Amino acid sequence: MRRLSSLLPTLLLPLLFAPAAHADRAGDLMLQEALLRQYSTAEAEQRYEAYRKNPDAATQALGSGMSNLVGRMYQRSQERVAAANAVQETRDRFWQAVLDGKDIQIRNADDRRLLVQLLEGKSNEGYWPATQRLVEYALWLRPGSDAVFEQPMEPQAALLLRRAAYGTEGNYEYWATGMLAKLYLVGRGVPRDEEEALRLFTLCAQGVGQVQHQDARGGLEDKPAIRARCGFNAARMWEKGWGVDADKATADKLRQDATAHYNKMNKTQLTVAQVEETIRP
């Protein structure tokens, strides 16, 4: 018994001075934070001692820090959502303007980048109005083109038109063929080739074996107007002797054929002059 009593101080001494097996949670978090932030041992001990002297303050500080962090995360999340919504609203507004044939005002570089990305994406998806608008901007044919492209992009426009005009399985967009013919006529983005221009105008005017997809994205083109425009342009080439020996009789017949087809498709009775003014070749 005396031996046991003599051993008690030895057994109890480590227990009295040993750290608690489980410090309170705030203290643990502070020590863990010290590891994360790579505090020195002295820094960690100073912070822990400050916590031991005033544990409530440390807990409040920890809670405040977490609250501020969550608040900042939520605010940034809301800002990202608002920014994404604003971008989508601008995209929708731009695309509706394209479908309606309206001009678009570019306010800054972000608008320009967004518009080009929108048109390129829609064009790749098969929406012909997007390709048409890209071509108009690239050729500087539409108001505000210089805000979209700093200089005319004729080779790029020609590439888009060739892709649409020389389609597979006999499908192509009439407007693209007529526009590409004009580029060949003046030699913009492609070599000057009056004969190819006349060939394309003639194919477009006749619509022989080449018809636009009936499920064309963005709505069907005004095919009677475009075919008539191509017919009148081909007539002008015959009249002027561009790429062919001048022949006024052939030119007159092409205008009459274009007018007859236009009147038939639109159930109108316009004269040659009236159709030419309506379609503005």
For 161-185, write each residue's pLDDT tens digit. Answer: 988 887 655 566 778 889 999 999 9
- Confidence grade of residue 4 (pLDDT, cut at 50, 70, 90): very low
CATH annotation of 168-281: 1.25.40
Domain residue ranges of the chain, discontinuous segments joined by +: 22-54, 90-152, 168-281
The C-alpha atoms of residue 147 and residue 149 are separated, in whole angstroms, by 6
Q: What is the chain's Cα-based Rg?
A: 38
Q: Which pLDDT score is estimated for 63?
A: 60
Residue 55 has a pLDDT of 64
Residue 215: the pLDDT is 44
Min mean pLDDT across 25-29, 31-35, 61-65, 175-179 is at 61-65
pLDDT of residue 76: 79
Cα 210 to Cα 216: distance, rounded to the nearest angstrom: 14
Residue type, 162: R
Q: What is the reported pLDDT for 33?
A: 64
Is the pLDDT at 128 greater than 60? The verdict is: yes
Encode pLDDT of 90-114 as tens digits.
999 999 999 888 999 999 999 999 9
Mean pLDDT of 192-215: 77
Which residue intervals of the chain are DSSP H helices?
Answer: 2-17, 25-36, 41-53, 55-100, 109-124, 128-138, 145-148, 154-165, 174-186, 194-206, 223-240, 248-266, 272-279
Token pair recorded at residue 67 = 């609250």
pLDDT at 103: 94
36-40, 162-166, 200-204, range with the lowest pLDDT = 36-40
> For residue range 45-59, what is the model confidence (pLDDT) as tens digits?
777 677 667 766 655
Residue 213: the pLDDT is: 44
pLDDT recorded at residue 279: 86
Q: How confident is the model at residue 193 (pLDDT cuts 50, 70, 90)?
A: very high
Split at pLDDT 50, 70, 90, the class of 12 is very low
Q: Using 50, 70 and 90 to split pLDDT, how confident is the model at 66? A: low
What's the token pair of residue 49? 């001692």
**pTM score over 0.75:** no
Average pLDDT score over residue span 271-277: 93
Write down the pLDDT at residue 37. 62
CA distance 91 to 130: 13
- Average pLDDT of span 252-259: 96
Residue % of the chain over a pLDDT of 90:
48
Rounded CA-CA distance 217/230 in Å is 22
